[in-house]
């Protein structure tokens, strides 16, 4: 499941030069920001990253895992894109968890929701 999600997320494609029609928008935006940094400069756009992203997407069905693929490939762009995809998948999974709360929105951890009904019952121990 993780490999399939990552393959879909990094299959970033555009039509009409700037209309993204596949892949994850947040990963594409992150790559666009990275492309403008002196260390990664890519003519101010993500085109230089796309072949590595497509390589990851195409290779995921045969890969043992995304981590193994990153290690075996050894490419700097592959590592960056793969790690962005892993982080995005983890964050998306956490947002769906009962443990998730957004501190930026003033939310706190809802202990009663996490604990469930068993925690609200009085203990039978003496």
The model's pLDDT over 37-82, given as tens digits with 9 standing for 90+, comes to 888 876 668 888 999 999 999 999 999 999 999 999 889 999 999 9
Query: What is each CA distance from 47 to 8, 30, 56, 100, 116, in whole angstroms?
Result: 18, 13, 15, 34, 48
Query: What is each CA distance from 121 to 98, 99, 111, 113, in whole angstroms?
Result: 19, 21, 14, 13
Domain locations in the chain as residue ranges: 2-98
98-126 average pLDDT score:
61
Q: At residue 77, what are phi and psi to the nearest 5 degrees?
A: -65, -40
> Which pTM was predicted?
0.77
């Amino acid at each position: 499941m993780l490999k399939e999600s990552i393959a879909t997320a990094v299959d970033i494609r555009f039509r009409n030069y700037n209309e993204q029609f596949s892949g994850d928008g947040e990963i594409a935006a992150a790559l666009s920001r990275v492309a403008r940094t002196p260390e990664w400069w890519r003519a101010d756009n993500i085109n230089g990253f796309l072949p590595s992203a497509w390589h990851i997407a195409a290779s995921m069905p045969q890969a043992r895992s995304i981590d193994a693929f990153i290690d075996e490939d050894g490419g700097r762009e592959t590592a960056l894109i793969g790690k962005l995809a892993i982080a995005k998948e983890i964050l998306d999974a956490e947002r769906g968890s009962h443990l998730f709360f957004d501190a930026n929105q003033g939310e706190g951890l809802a202990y009663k929701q996490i604990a469930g009904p068993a925690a609200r019952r009085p203990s039978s121990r003496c």
